[in-house]
Amino acid sequence: MSPHPDFLWRDPEPRRSYEVVIVGGGGHGLATAYYLARNHGVRDVAVLEKGWLAGGNMARNTTIIRSNYLWDESAAIYEHSLKLWEGLSEELDYDLQFSQRGVLNLAHSLSDVREGRRRVNANLLNGVDAEWLDPAEVAAFCPILNVSGSARYPVLGATLQRRAGIAKHDHVAWALARKADAYGVDLIQNTEVTGFQITKNRVTGVETTRGTIAAGTVALAAAGHTSVLAAKAGLRLPLRSHPLQAMVSELLEPVLDCVVMSNAVHVYVSQAHKGELVMGAGIDAYTSYGRRGSFHVIEAQMAAALELFPIFSRVRLLRTWAGIVDVSPDASPIIGPTSVEGLYVNAGWGTGGFKATTGSGWAYADTIANGRPHALAAPFGLERFTTGALIDEHGAAAVAH
Protein backbone atom coordinates (compact mmCIF):
# COMPACT_ATOMS: atom_id res chain seq x y z
CA MET A 1 0.00 0.00 0.00
CA SER A 2 1.29 3.42 -0.90
CA PRO A 3 1.04 6.08 1.80
CA HIS A 4 -1.84 8.53 1.69
CA PRO A 5 -0.98 11.49 -0.55
CA ASP A 6 -0.43 14.80 1.16
CA PHE A 7 -3.51 16.90 1.88
CA LEU A 8 -3.78 19.97 -0.32
CA TRP A 9 -4.90 22.18 2.56
CA ARG A 10 -5.00 22.15 6.36
CA ASP A 11 -8.13 21.39 8.37
CA PRO A 12 -7.77 24.15 10.96
CA GLU A 13 -9.81 24.85 14.07
CA PRO A 14 -11.61 28.16 13.66
CA ARG A 15 -9.96 31.03 15.52
CA ARG A 16 -12.01 33.47 17.59
CA SER A 17 -11.55 36.35 15.21
CA TYR A 18 -10.59 37.17 11.63
CA GLU A 19 -10.15 40.33 9.61
CA VAL A 20 -12.37 38.88 6.88
CA VAL A 21 -14.84 35.99 7.07
CA ILE A 22 -16.07 34.64 3.75
CA VAL A 23 -19.29 32.64 3.99
CA GLY A 24 -19.29 29.89 1.40
CA GLY A 25 -16.40 27.66 0.30
CA GLY A 26 -17.33 27.28 -3.34
CA GLY A 27 -15.45 28.57 -6.34
CA HIS A 28 -16.23 32.23 -5.76
CA GLY A 29 -15.49 32.10 -2.03
CA LEU A 30 -12.17 30.34 -2.61
CA ALA A 31 -11.21 32.70 -5.42
CA THR A 32 -12.07 35.67 -3.23
CA ALA A 33 -9.87 34.34 -0.42
CA TYR A 34 -7.06 33.63 -2.86
CA TYR A 35 -7.12 37.10 -4.42
CA LEU A 36 -7.48 38.80 -1.01
CA ALA A 37 -4.20 37.20 -0.03
CA ARG A 38 -2.44 37.45 -3.38
CA ASN A 39 -3.48 40.92 -4.54
CA HIS A 40 -4.07 42.72 -1.26
CA GLY A 41 -1.94 40.95 1.33
CA VAL A 42 -5.05 40.26 3.43
CA ARG A 43 -4.29 36.86 4.92
CA ASP A 44 -6.22 36.97 8.17
CA VAL A 45 -9.12 35.33 6.39
CA ALA A 46 -11.46 32.42 7.09
CA VAL A 47 -13.66 30.69 4.54
CA LEU A 48 -16.61 29.07 6.32
CA GLU A 49 -18.30 26.22 4.49
CA LYS A 50 -21.32 24.37 5.88
CA GLY A 51 -20.52 21.21 3.89
CA TRP A 52 -17.26 20.36 2.19
CA LEU A 53 -15.28 22.67 -0.06
CA ALA A 54 -16.69 23.14 -3.54
CA GLY A 55 -19.50 20.63 -3.00
CA GLY A 56 -22.33 22.91 -4.12
CA ASN A 57 -22.66 24.45 -7.54
CA MET A 58 -18.89 24.24 -8.03
CA ALA A 59 -19.36 20.46 -8.21
CA ARG A 60 -22.54 20.63 -10.29
CA ASN A 61 -21.96 23.08 -13.11
CA THR A 62 -21.21 22.29 -16.74
CA THR A 63 -17.83 24.09 -16.65
CA ILE A 64 -18.38 26.39 -19.64
CA ILE A 65 -16.14 29.46 -19.76
CA ARG A 66 -16.81 32.31 -22.19
CA SER A 67 -17.01 36.08 -22.20
CA ASN A 68 -19.24 36.87 -25.19
CA TYR A 69 -21.83 38.88 -23.27
CA LEU A 70 -23.74 41.72 -24.88
CA TRP A 71 -23.49 44.66 -22.50
CA ASP A 72 -20.29 46.55 -21.76
CA GLU A 73 -20.47 45.94 -18.00
CA SER A 74 -20.83 42.18 -18.48
CA ALA A 75 -18.22 41.94 -21.20
CA ALA A 76 -15.76 43.76 -18.93
CA ILE A 77 -16.02 41.41 -15.96
CA TYR A 78 -16.39 38.19 -17.96
CA GLU A 79 -13.51 39.10 -20.26
CA HIS A 80 -11.38 39.93 -17.23
CA SER A 81 -12.31 36.48 -15.93
CA LEU A 82 -11.35 34.82 -19.20
CA LYS A 83 -7.98 36.58 -19.25
CA LEU A 84 -7.34 35.34 -15.71
CA TRP A 85 -8.34 31.80 -16.72
CA GLU A 86 -5.76 31.95 -19.51
CA GLY A 87 -2.92 32.19 -16.99
CA LEU A 88 -4.43 30.37 -14.05
CA SER A 89 -3.02 26.85 -14.49
CA GLU A 90 0.50 28.25 -14.49
CA GLU A 91 -0.20 30.70 -11.68
CA LEU A 92 -1.70 28.05 -9.41
CA ASP A 93 0.79 25.41 -10.55
CA TYR A 94 -2.02 22.96 -11.19
CA ASP A 95 -3.37 21.49 -14.43
CA LEU A 96 -6.89 22.93 -14.59
CA GLN A 97 -7.55 21.22 -17.94
CA PHE A 98 -8.54 24.62 -19.26
CA SER A 99 -9.32 23.97 -22.89
CA GLN A 100 -10.09 26.87 -25.23
CA ARG A 101 -11.94 24.74 -27.71
CA GLY A 102 -14.46 27.32 -28.87
CA VAL A 103 -18.10 27.89 -27.92
CA LEU A 104 -20.87 28.01 -30.52
CA ASN A 105 -24.10 29.83 -29.69
CA LEU A 106 -26.63 28.63 -32.26
CA ALA A 107 -29.24 30.78 -33.96
CA HIS A 108 -32.50 29.06 -34.93
CA SER A 109 -34.62 31.99 -35.99
CA LEU A 110 -34.23 35.36 -37.68
CA SER A 111 -34.35 37.12 -34.34
CA ASP A 112 -31.62 34.77 -33.06
CA VAL A 113 -29.56 35.70 -36.13
CA ARG A 114 -30.01 39.41 -35.51
CA GLU A 115 -29.21 39.03 -31.83
CA GLY A 116 -26.14 36.93 -32.62
CA ARG A 117 -24.76 39.37 -35.19
CA ARG A 118 -25.41 42.29 -32.87
CA ARG A 119 -23.61 40.48 -30.06
CA VAL A 120 -20.61 39.71 -32.29
CA ASN A 121 -20.34 43.42 -33.10
CA ALA A 122 -20.72 44.39 -29.46
CA ASN A 123 -18.08 41.84 -28.45
CA LEU A 124 -15.60 43.09 -31.06
CA LEU A 125 -16.08 46.67 -29.88
CA ASN A 126 -15.30 45.49 -26.36
CA GLY A 127 -12.17 43.63 -27.45
CA VAL A 128 -13.78 40.23 -27.00
CA ASP A 129 -13.04 37.76 -29.80
CA ALA A 130 -16.19 36.83 -31.70
CA GLU A 131 -17.14 35.54 -35.12
CA TRP A 132 -20.35 34.98 -36.99
CA LEU A 133 -20.57 31.63 -38.80
CA ASP A 134 -23.09 30.79 -41.51
CA PRO A 135 -24.62 27.29 -41.50
CA ALA A 136 -21.92 25.81 -43.75
CA GLU A 137 -19.21 27.22 -41.51
CA VAL A 138 -21.05 25.88 -38.45
CA ALA A 139 -21.12 22.42 -40.07
CA ALA A 140 -17.41 22.63 -40.82
CA PHE A 141 -16.62 23.66 -37.24
CA CYS A 142 -18.89 21.04 -35.65
CA PRO A 143 -19.60 18.26 -38.16
CA ILE A 144 -21.94 16.24 -35.95
CA LEU A 145 -24.47 19.10 -35.69
CA ASN A 146 -27.58 18.69 -37.79
CA VAL A 147 -27.67 21.84 -39.94
CA SER A 148 -30.07 20.47 -42.57
CA GLY A 149 -32.96 22.70 -43.56
CA SER A 150 -35.47 20.09 -42.40
CA ALA A 151 -34.24 20.05 -38.81
CA ARG A 152 -36.80 20.74 -36.10
CA TYR A 153 -34.54 23.57 -34.91
CA PRO A 154 -32.85 24.72 -38.14
CA VAL A 155 -29.37 26.17 -37.63
CA LEU A 156 -29.35 29.54 -39.37
CA GLY A 157 -25.90 30.43 -38.10
CA ALA A 158 -23.96 30.73 -34.89
CA THR A 159 -21.66 32.98 -32.96
CA LEU A 160 -18.25 31.52 -32.19
CA GLN A 161 -15.87 32.56 -29.46
CA ARG A 162 -12.68 30.60 -30.09
CA ARG A 163 -11.06 31.58 -26.78
CA ALA A 164 -14.00 30.16 -24.85
CA GLY A 165 -14.05 26.59 -23.60
CA ILE A 166 -14.19 24.44 -20.49
CA ALA A 167 -12.08 23.64 -17.43
CA LYS A 168 -12.04 20.88 -14.84
CA HIS A 169 -14.12 22.36 -12.03
CA ASP A 170 -12.74 20.20 -9.20
CA HIS A 171 -9.17 21.01 -10.12
CA VAL A 172 -10.02 24.71 -10.09
CA ALA A 173 -11.41 24.48 -6.56
CA TRP A 174 -8.56 22.35 -5.27
CA ALA A 175 -5.90 24.57 -6.81
CA LEU A 176 -7.45 27.76 -5.42
CA ALA A 177 -7.90 26.13 -2.00
CA ARG A 178 -4.30 24.93 -1.91
CA LYS A 179 -2.91 28.36 -2.76
CA ALA A 180 -5.23 30.20 -0.38
CA ASP A 181 -4.26 27.78 2.38
CA ALA A 182 -0.58 28.31 1.63
CA TYR A 183 -1.11 32.06 2.07
CA GLY A 184 -2.49 31.35 5.55
CA VAL A 185 -6.22 31.46 4.84
CA ASP A 186 -8.19 29.13 7.12
CA LEU A 187 -10.54 26.91 5.10
CA ILE A 188 -13.07 25.72 7.65
CA GLN A 189 -15.48 23.02 6.53
CA ASN A 190 -18.58 21.55 8.18
CA THR A 191 -19.25 24.89 9.81
CA GLU A 192 -22.56 26.54 9.06
CA VAL A 193 -23.22 30.23 9.64
CA THR A 194 -26.42 30.42 11.69
CA GLY A 195 -26.56 34.16 12.31
CA PHE A 196 -24.78 37.49 12.27
CA GLN A 197 -23.65 39.71 15.10
CA ILE A 198 -24.68 43.24 14.22
CA THR A 199 -24.12 46.27 16.45
CA LYS A 200 -25.47 49.69 15.41
CA ASN A 201 -25.98 48.43 11.87
CA ARG A 202 -22.41 47.20 11.64
CA VAL A 203 -21.53 43.52 11.37
CA THR A 204 -19.03 42.40 14.00
CA GLY A 205 -19.04 38.67 13.54
CA VAL A 206 -20.88 35.49 12.66
CA GLU A 207 -22.57 32.84 14.75
CA THR A 208 -21.74 29.36 13.57
CA THR A 209 -22.36 25.73 14.48
CA ARG A 210 -18.87 25.87 16.01
CA GLY A 211 -19.30 29.02 18.02
CA THR A 212 -19.07 32.73 17.46
CA ILE A 213 -16.36 34.16 15.22
CA ALA A 214 -15.62 37.88 15.24
CA ALA A 215 -14.95 39.54 11.91
CA GLY A 216 -14.08 42.99 10.63
CA THR A 217 -15.76 42.21 7.34
CA VAL A 218 -18.21 39.46 6.41
CA ALA A 219 -18.48 38.56 2.74
CA LEU A 220 -21.27 36.33 1.48
CA ALA A 221 -20.42 33.93 -1.34
CA ALA A 222 -23.22 31.44 -0.88
CA ALA A 223 -24.90 31.27 -4.31
CA GLY A 224 -28.34 29.66 -4.03
CA HIS A 225 -28.44 30.02 -0.24
CA THR A 226 -27.65 33.74 -0.20
CA SER A 227 -31.27 34.70 0.50
CA VAL A 228 -31.37 32.42 3.53
CA LEU A 229 -28.21 33.98 4.96
CA ALA A 230 -29.22 37.53 4.10
CA ALA A 231 -32.54 37.03 5.90
CA LYS A 232 -30.57 36.27 9.09
CA ALA A 233 -29.06 39.74 8.74
CA GLY A 234 -32.48 41.28 8.13
CA LEU A 235 -31.93 41.77 4.39
CA ARG A 236 -34.26 40.95 1.51
CA LEU A 237 -32.42 40.59 -1.78
CA PRO A 238 -33.81 40.46 -5.32
CA LEU A 239 -32.89 36.81 -5.78
CA ARG A 240 -34.88 33.68 -6.61
CA SER A 241 -33.42 30.24 -5.86
CA HIS A 242 -34.21 27.67 -8.54
CA PRO A 243 -33.07 24.15 -9.31
CA LEU A 244 -30.82 23.93 -12.35
CA GLN A 245 -30.36 20.44 -13.70
CA ALA A 246 -27.43 18.95 -15.55
CA MET A 247 -26.46 15.47 -16.65
CA VAL A 248 -23.70 13.31 -18.08
CA SER A 249 -23.69 10.42 -20.51
CA GLU A 250 -21.64 7.28 -20.32
CA LEU A 251 -18.01 7.66 -21.44
CA LEU A 252 -17.59 7.96 -25.19
CA GLU A 253 -14.70 8.13 -27.63
CA PRO A 254 -13.88 11.73 -28.63
CA VAL A 255 -16.78 12.92 -30.78
CA LEU A 256 -17.33 16.60 -29.90
CA ASP A 257 -14.35 18.95 -29.70
CA CYS A 258 -16.18 22.21 -29.06
CA VAL A 259 -18.96 23.53 -26.83
CA VAL A 260 -22.39 23.92 -28.41
CA MET A 261 -25.05 26.09 -26.81
CA SER A 262 -28.54 26.86 -27.96
CA ASN A 263 -30.42 29.43 -25.95
CA ALA A 264 -33.66 28.95 -27.82
CA VAL A 265 -33.98 25.28 -26.89
CA HIS A 266 -31.96 25.42 -23.65
CA VAL A 267 -29.26 22.97 -24.64
CA TYR A 268 -25.58 23.17 -23.92
CA VAL A 269 -23.29 20.27 -24.63
CA SER A 270 -19.59 19.58 -24.37
CA GLN A 271 -17.48 16.47 -24.03
CA ALA A 272 -15.32 16.33 -20.93
CA HIS A 273 -11.73 15.14 -21.14
CA LYS A 274 -12.76 11.87 -19.53
CA GLY A 275 -15.21 11.22 -22.36
CA GLU A 276 -18.68 11.85 -21.01
CA LEU A 277 -21.03 14.28 -22.67
CA VAL A 278 -21.85 17.05 -20.20
CA MET A 279 -25.23 18.62 -20.79
CA GLY A 280 -27.27 21.25 -19.03
CA ALA A 281 -30.90 22.25 -19.02
CA GLY A 282 -32.78 25.42 -18.16
CA ILE A 283 -33.92 26.17 -14.64
CA ASP A 284 -37.05 24.62 -13.20
CA ALA A 285 -39.83 27.20 -13.01
CA TYR A 286 -40.47 27.03 -9.26
CA THR A 287 -38.20 28.15 -6.46
CA SER A 288 -36.53 25.39 -4.50
CA TYR A 289 -33.65 24.46 -2.24
CA GLY A 290 -34.26 20.75 -2.80
CA ARG A 291 -31.36 20.12 -5.21
CA ARG A 292 -33.54 18.16 -7.56
CA GLY A 293 -35.75 19.22 -10.41
CA SER A 294 -38.60 17.83 -12.44
CA PHE A 295 -37.91 15.14 -14.99
CA HIS A 296 -39.89 16.79 -17.78
CA VAL A 297 -37.23 19.49 -17.92
CA ILE A 298 -34.58 16.88 -18.69
CA GLU A 299 -36.89 15.12 -21.14
CA ALA A 300 -37.48 18.32 -23.13
CA GLN A 301 -33.81 19.17 -23.05
CA MET A 302 -32.79 15.71 -24.30
CA ALA A 303 -35.38 15.87 -27.08
CA ALA A 304 -33.90 19.15 -28.27
CA ALA A 305 -30.35 17.82 -27.97
CA LEU A 306 -31.22 14.83 -30.13
CA GLU A 307 -32.70 17.08 -32.81
CA LEU A 308 -29.40 18.97 -32.90
CA PHE A 309 -27.21 15.87 -32.58
CA PRO A 310 -28.91 12.84 -34.20
CA ILE A 311 -25.66 10.89 -33.65
CA PHE A 312 -26.41 10.82 -29.90
CA SER A 313 -29.67 8.90 -30.30
CA ARG A 314 -28.36 5.75 -28.62
CA VAL A 315 -26.19 7.40 -26.01
CA ARG A 316 -27.16 6.41 -22.49
CA LEU A 317 -27.57 8.96 -19.78
CA LEU A 318 -25.47 8.06 -16.75
CA ARG A 319 -26.84 10.41 -14.14
CA THR A 320 -28.62 13.69 -13.60
CA TRP A 321 -28.48 16.13 -10.72
CA ALA A 322 -29.45 19.64 -9.75
CA GLY A 323 -27.86 22.59 -8.05
CA ILE A 324 -29.63 25.56 -6.52
CA VAL A 325 -28.91 28.71 -8.49
CA ASP A 326 -29.65 32.27 -7.39
CA VAL A 327 -31.22 34.16 -10.25
CA SER A 328 -31.47 37.95 -10.22
CA PRO A 329 -34.14 39.92 -12.09
CA ASP A 330 -31.77 41.00 -14.87
CA ALA A 331 -29.72 37.78 -15.00
CA SER A 332 -26.64 39.69 -13.86
CA PRO A 333 -24.77 39.26 -10.59
CA ILE A 334 -25.05 41.42 -7.48
CA ILE A 335 -21.64 42.43 -6.10
CA GLY A 336 -20.96 44.98 -3.42
CA PRO A 337 -21.89 46.42 -0.04
CA THR A 338 -25.27 45.94 1.63
CA SER A 339 -27.22 48.23 3.92
CA VAL A 340 -25.43 46.57 6.86
CA GLU A 341 -21.98 48.10 7.23
CA GLY A 342 -19.16 45.61 6.75
CA LEU A 343 -21.45 43.00 5.20
CA TYR A 344 -20.84 42.39 1.51
CA VAL A 345 -22.73 40.28 -0.98
CA ASN A 346 -21.61 38.50 -4.13
CA ALA A 347 -24.52 36.54 -5.57
CA GLY A 348 -26.99 36.32 -8.40
CA TRP A 349 -24.61 34.61 -10.79
CA GLY A 350 -27.54 32.36 -11.56
CA THR A 351 -26.92 29.72 -14.16
CA GLY A 352 -23.48 30.89 -15.24
CA GLY A 353 -21.20 31.61 -12.31
CA PHE A 354 -18.44 29.09 -12.96
CA LYS A 355 -16.95 31.05 -15.84
CA ALA A 356 -16.69 34.08 -13.58
CA THR A 357 -14.95 32.34 -10.68
CA THR A 358 -11.75 34.25 -11.38
CA GLY A 359 -13.06 37.71 -12.19
CA SER A 360 -15.68 37.55 -9.47
CA GLY A 361 -13.10 36.64 -6.86
CA TRP A 362 -10.76 39.33 -8.18
CA ALA A 363 -13.32 42.14 -8.08
CA TYR A 364 -14.93 41.00 -4.81
CA ALA A 365 -11.56 40.76 -3.04
CA ASP A 366 -10.69 44.28 -4.17
CA THR A 367 -14.10 45.54 -3.05
CA ILE A 368 -13.65 43.98 0.40
CA ALA A 369 -10.03 45.08 0.82
CA ASN A 370 -10.75 48.71 -0.10
CA GLY A 371 -14.26 49.07 1.28
CA ARG A 372 -15.66 50.34 -2.02
CA PRO A 373 -16.78 48.61 -5.21
CA HIS A 374 -14.06 47.63 -7.67
CA ALA A 375 -14.55 49.25 -11.08
CA LEU A 376 -15.64 45.93 -12.60
CA ALA A 377 -18.12 45.38 -9.75
CA ALA A 378 -19.50 48.91 -9.48
CA PRO A 379 -22.25 48.52 -12.13
CA PHE A 380 -23.45 45.38 -10.35
CA GLY A 381 -24.43 46.98 -7.05
CA LEU A 382 -27.80 46.43 -5.37
CA GLU A 383 -28.81 50.05 -6.05
CA ARG A 384 -29.34 49.32 -9.74
CA PHE A 385 -32.74 47.83 -8.95
CA THR A 386 -33.84 51.18 -7.56
CA THR A 387 -32.13 53.44 -10.11
CA GLY A 388 -33.29 51.24 -12.98
CA ALA A 389 -29.77 50.88 -14.41
CA LEU A 390 -30.28 47.16 -14.99
CA ILE A 391 -27.80 45.06 -16.95
CA ASP A 392 -30.31 42.94 -18.76
CA GLU A 393 -28.55 39.84 -20.01
CA HIS A 394 -31.70 37.73 -20.13
CA GLY A 395 -32.33 37.38 -23.81
CA ALA A 396 -29.13 39.07 -24.80
CA ALA A 397 -26.07 37.05 -24.08
CA ALA A 398 -27.64 33.69 -23.47
CA VAL A 399 -30.09 32.52 -20.91
CA ALA A 400 -28.50 29.12 -20.81
CA HIS A 401 -24.90 28.98 -19.65
Instruction: Between 140 and 228, name the residue whose CB sits nearer to other proteins.
Output: 228
With beta carbons less than 8 A apart as the criterion, state whether 284 and 294 touch: yes
**CA–CA gap between residue 308 and residue 199 (Å, rounded):** 57
User: Taking CB under 8 A as the rule, does residue 238 contact other proteins?
Assistant: yes
- Long-range contacts of 81-90, Cβ-Cβ distance < 8 Å, separation of 24 or more: 81/355, 81/356, 81/357, 81/358, 81/359, 81/360, 81/362, 82/163, 82/164, 82/355, 82/359, 84/358, 84/359, 84/362, 85/167, 85/358, 86/163, 88/172, 88/175, 88/358, 89/175
**Interacting span for other proteins (CB under 8 A) from 40-48, 132-140, 250-258, 379-387:** 379-387
**Interacting span for other proteins (CB under 8 A) from 94-102, 230-238, 262-270, 356-364:** 230-238
User: Taking CB under 8 A as the rule, does residue 52 contact other proteins?
Assistant: no
**CA–CA gap between residue 365 and residue 373 (Å, rounded):** 10
Candidate residues 290, 310, 371, 395; the one interacting with other proteins per rule CB under 8 A: 290
User: Taking CB under 8 A as the rule, does residue 329 contact other proteins?
Assistant: yes
**Interacting span for other proteins (CB under 8 A) from 148-156, 157-165, 382-390, 391-399:** 382-390
| Nearest-approach distance from CB 329 to other proteins, in angstroms | 5
* DSSP track, 25-80: -SHHHHHHHHHHHHHH----EEEE-SSSTT-SGGGTS--EE----SSHHHHHHHHH
Please work out the total of residues on this chain that contact other proteins, with binding judged by CB under 8 A.
Answer: 23
Q: What are the start-end ranges of the H helices in 93-191?
A: 110-125, 135-141, 169-182
Residues 6+ apart with CB under 8 A from 312: 249, 277, 305, 306
User: Taking CB under 8 A as the rule, does residue 241 contact other proteins?
Assistant: yes
Residues 6+ apart with CB under 8 A from 300: 266, 281
**CA–CA gap between residue 116 and residue 331 (Å, rounded):** 18
Candidate residues 295, 370, 371, 372; the one interacting with other proteins per rule CB under 8 A: 295
With beta carbons less than 8 A apart as the criterion, state whether 319 and 272 touch: no
**Interacting span for other proteins (CB under 8 A) from 7-15, 51-59, 287-295, 304-312:** 287-295
Q: Sort strands 165-166 and 64-65 into parallel, antiparallel or unpaired.
A: antiparallel
| Nearest-approach distance from CB 292 to other proteins, in angstroms | 8
Candidate residues 124, 136, 182, 228; the one interacting with other proteins per rule CB under 8 A: 228
User: Taking CB under 8 A as the rule, does residue 296 contact other proteins?
Assistant: yes
Candidate residues 287, 306, 321, 394; the one interacting with other proteins per rule CB under 8 A: 287
| Nearest-approach distance from CB 373 to other proteins, in angstroms | 19
| Nearest-approach distance from CB 141 to other proteins, in angstroms | 35
User: Taking CB under 8 A as the rule, does residue 288 contact other proteins?
Assistant: yes
| Nearest-approach distance from CB 343 to other proteins, in angstroms | 17
User: Taking CB under 8 A as the rule, does residue 294 contact other proteins?
Assistant: yes
**CA–CA gap between residue 313 and residue 145 (Å, rounded):** 13
Instruction: Between 238 and 275, name the residue whose CB sits nearer to other proteins.
Output: 238
| Nearest-approach distance from CB 272 to other proteins, in angstroms | 28
Candidate residues 207, 385, 392, 394; the one interacting with other proteins per rule CB under 8 A: 385
Instruction: Between 143 and 286, name the residue whose CB sits nearer to other proteins.
Output: 286
User: Taking CB under 8 A as the rule, does residue 231 contact other proteins?
Assistant: yes
Q: How far, in whole angstroms, is CA 273 from its chain's centroid?
A: 20
Q: Sort strands 240-251 and 276-283 into parallel, antiparallel or unpaired.
A: antiparallel
| Nearest-approach distance from CB 245 to other proteins, in angstroms | 12
Contact positions toward other proteins, by CB under 8 A?
A: 225, 227-228, 231, 236-241, 285-290, 294-296, 329, 385-387
